[in-house]
């Protein structure tokens, strides 16, 4: 490389997104980039000319290792959607004048499907205007809902945390005996895709029966069937644990959480902000059955738990960061790095690049055949798919009993 | 020892209570106990003659290691309060006839202040009736509210999880910029004692500013002052993280969570069941300030997170289990094992036994001088107290990417 690289982070944070940032930095430096800039708060911050020189923060190999183990987005993130090119060329002119000033040769954006929309538009604009920089997307989302890639970095660590925590919750549920039993409802992220909620099945093993029911957002949720299934389970066992997606909906399209409280807030991408599904269902069950209930939201914890990250995930996140820079350096643009799985056991994977136009704004859902017929659990295929992605641990750098992170003063 | 030992677990589960169980088993066996029985679901289960022979579950050293790493209560627990001896002698006659049948020489009960009430009453009854068995309490509670002991097993692991998770939440809070800022309220267990909530300050370090405000239940909570403090913080920073105890109350004695919804359920010990404090305050702040808010309850996770247990805690839990058996074997009764701290740095501790009459039903609160004058943070003394208790890790036995536990089929 002869010019400079700029990298940004976009969308919801994960435990692995900073590992991709470390990978981008390392490969850019290895390939001779003079400067590696980090845009602050994604493309939105770049529009305000907010960026930094990453070499001031990653000063040695220890910093890079800490960065790989730091949750959330080191550079800050955004949920900013670029206008269509024909609607507002000024935004594009501004961005490209900044890139020009910074002598950017490669623009790497780490994010999910909304963020790939940004890569698509910027690379289109560059091609149309003859601007020479290359634009490459680097996959990231705990939701695992990106098309054309076997899975996304960030998913494995979240799945490992969910499997571990749900197992600990199941264990806890058997401590105390309640007259009419205990029903625990665990709410897991995933608005439309059930990849995370399905990973609660990882709790299942020789030493644990796993959650009793799993409800993904891909299938309509039926309150009456749910109630009768819970009643039946309580006839056989004293503690029932149910994993549900925050985004489960009734047949008529209403979110279950909307049954309890009205939630009208909608974000910039038109997504409804959800919360309280577990809370609604646990009140519903308590009222109908008279048993003890608990609602547990894994909330922010599930995407920020670097302390229990998956080694496969952190390494793959690092690799896709490097692969993005390599692709840009070799002349690709308008592409996203994807992960190919060569085999399940032993698990082997590699990277290639695919056209971002086929990825942006698309959502990969859990296939119907990976959910049981009655819609209350995931199949063995699902578990065999996710199991390799949670393998291995990344030992946190413990300082005084607490994991150390790489710190950017704000 | 010539006779048998029986051990029970009582009260809320922790990540360390099974390590005490392993300690009891090991020392009882080492001292020649023929049988080590485990009562199922504490004294309540024993009254129904529900117990097991622990040697059928702990068959080798690996089982013992797994048990030390298994959260929740392996034997099951209860919240059963024995009647006063003069009120109902039948209960006592029944218990002692079972102990007699099982040839029990030492009765070990692992629990908190309510559980020590059980040890007090049983040892009193044994002395009065001339029954030769010895009754020893083994401290356990994440709440750390037991009198006469420097701290309680279970507290260190919960504190480590809270410090780690709050740090991850703080990091996550800086990812996205919201127009009017983001306020995250983290709700932590502790009905009357703020030991757990105060441990959120462990997130503070060279790489993290820690939570911005910490509210313990020991001091009255003032909504107006809270609001003005949050407003002031939002003038200076974009993300504010506040740790609150589930049990914070207004000056007039009402729980903050009662302001939102009415919670009337009261458990057998007269404790109100609380929930929703963070949820109430985050709605309050959103309404008053118009900023983005989040409510995060660490819920069951904070007491069950064996995957991030403290090594000091797990080892001390094991030691107090052994010390309880030793005390009984040496003739003590009506005592609880306590932990003495000899020095902070290097941390050194040991065990002795103290009269359970001085411990039962008492609650050790956070001293006023360990909270800052304005009541919104803990002092350095508090942090220096808890810091040694979270040191070191206990590597989970990972099988297929998930921690393995010792399993008792139910």
What confidence tens digit (pLDDT) does each residue in A121-177 have?
A: 999 999 999 999 999 999 999 999 999 999 999 999 999 999 999 999 999 999 999
Q: Which of B114, B143, B212, B313 is catalytic?
A: B143
Residue A273 pLDDT more than 60?
no
Confidence of residue A276 (pLDDT cuts 50, 70, 90): confident
Residue B300 is nearest to which of A72, A294, A308, comparing CB atoms?
A294
- Put simply, whether B362 touches A (Cβ < 8 Å) is no
Residue A371: DSSP 8-state: B
Residues 6 or more apart whose Cβ sits within 8 Å of residue B148: B336, B338, B354, B358, B359
pLDDT one-digit tens code per residue, A358-396: 998 889 999 999 999 999 999 999 999 999 999 999 999
Q: Nearest residue of B to residue A11 by CA position?
A: B176
Kind of pairing, strands A51-53 and A36-39? Answer: antiparallel
The count of CB pairs under 8 A between chains A and B is 183
Cβ–Cβ contact B208 with A under 8 A: yes
Tokens 């149910």 locate to: A242
Q: Does B177 touch chain A (CB under 8 A)?
A: yes
Four-residue CA torsion sign, B314, B315, B318, B320 = negative
Cβ contacts of B132 within 8 Å, gap of 6 or more = B105, B126
Contact A72 B402 (CB under 8 A): no
pLDDT for A129 equals: 96
Tokens of B265: 């359920």
Per CB-CB distance under 8 Å, the chain A contacts of B141 are none
Interface contact A224, partner B, CB < 8 A: no
- Find the CB nearest A310 among B237, B401, B404: B401
Distance CA A275, CA A400 (A): 35
Distance from CA of A128 to the nearest CA of B (A): 31
The answer, for A169 touching chain B at a CB cutoff of 8 Å, is yes
**CB within 8 Å: B205 and A404:** yes
According to DSSP, the β-strands at B4-9 and A239-245 are: unpaired
Contacts of B296 in chain A (CB under 8 A): 297, 299-301
CA distance B365 to chain A (A): 24
pLDDT at residue number A270: 53
CA distance B39 to chain A (A): 13
Q: Report the DSSP beta bridge partners of residue B338.
A: B352
DSSP for A237-305, please give it.
-SEEEEEEETT-B-TTS-BTHHHHS----B-TTSPBP---HHHHHHHHHHHHH--EEEEEE-TTHHHH-
Tens-digit pLDDT profile for residues B189-199: 999 999 999 99
Q: Is pLDDT of A216 > 60? A: yes
Known active-site residue B172: no
On whether the CB atoms of residues B407 and A171 are closer than 8 A, the answer is: no
Query: Per-residue confidence of chain B (410 residues) as pLDDT tens digits?
Result: 999 999 999 999 999 999 999 999 999 999 999 999 999 999 999 999 999 999 999 999 999 999 999 999 999 999 999 999 999 999 999 999 999 999 999 999 999 988 999 999 999 999 999 999 999 999 999 999 999 999 999 999 999 999 999 999 999 999 999 999 999 999 999 999 999 999 999 999 999 999 999 999 999 999 999 999 999 999 999 999 999 999 999 999 999 988 865 444 444 555 554 558 998 899 899 989 999 999 999 999 999 999 999 999 999 999 999 999 999 999 999 999 999 999 998 999 999 999 999 998 889 999 999 999 999 999 999 999 999 999 999 999 999 999 999 999 88
Phi-psi category of B60—alpha, beta or left, where left has phi over 0 and alpha has psi -120 to 50?
Answer: beta
């Amino acid at each position: 490389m002869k010019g400079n690289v700029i990298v940004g982070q976009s969308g919801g944070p994960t435990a692995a997104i900073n590992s991709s940032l470390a990978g981008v930095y390392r490969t850019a430096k290895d390939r001779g980039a003079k400067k590696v800039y980090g845009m602050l708060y994604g493309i939105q911050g770049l529009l305000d000319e907010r960026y930094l020189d990453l070499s001031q923060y990653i000063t040695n190999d220890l910093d890079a290792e800490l960065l790989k183990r730091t949750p959330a987005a080191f550079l800050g993130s955004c949920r900013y959607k670029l206008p269509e090119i024909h609607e507002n060329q000024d935004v594009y002119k501004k961005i490209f004048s900044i890139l020009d000033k910074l002598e950017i040769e490669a623009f790497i954006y780490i994010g999910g499907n909304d963020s790939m929309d940004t890569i698509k538009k910027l690379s289109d604009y560059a091609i149309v205007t003859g601007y020479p920089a290359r634009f490459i997307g680097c996959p990231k989302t705990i939701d695992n809902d990106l098309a054309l890639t076997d899975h996304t970095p960030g998913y494995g660590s979240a799945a490992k945390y969910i499997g571990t925590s749900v197992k600990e919750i199941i264990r806890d549920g058997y401590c105390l005996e309640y007259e009419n039993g205990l029903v625990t409802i665990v709410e897991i992220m995933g608005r439309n895709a059930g990849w995370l909620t399905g990973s609660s099945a990882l709790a299942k093993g020789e030493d644990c029966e796993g959650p009793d029911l799993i409800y993904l957002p891909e299938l309509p949720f039926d309150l009456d069937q749910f109630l009768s299934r819970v009643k039946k389970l309580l006839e056989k066992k004293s503690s029932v644990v149910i994993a549900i997606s925050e985004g489960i909906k009734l047949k008529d399209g209403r979110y279950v959480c909307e049954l309890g409280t009205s939630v009208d807030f909608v974000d910039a991408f038109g997504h409804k902000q959800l919360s309280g599904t577990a809370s609604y269902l646990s009140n519903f069950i308590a009222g109908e059955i008279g048993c003890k209930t608990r609602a547990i939201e894994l909330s922010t914890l599930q995407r920020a738990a670097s302390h229990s990250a998956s080694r496969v995930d952190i390494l793959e996140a690092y690799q896709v960061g490097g692969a993005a820079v390599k692709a840009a350096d070799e002349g690709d643009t308008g592409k996203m790095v994807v992960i190919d799985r060569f085999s399940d056991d032993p698990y082997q994977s590699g990277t290639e690049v695919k056209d971002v136009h086929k990825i942006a704004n698309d959502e990969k859902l859990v296939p119907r055949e990976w959910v049981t017929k009655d819609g209350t659990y995931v199949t063995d295929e699902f578990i065999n798919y996710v199991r390799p992605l949670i393998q291995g641990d990344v030992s946190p750098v413990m300082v005084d009993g607490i994991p150390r992170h790489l710190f950017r003063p704000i």
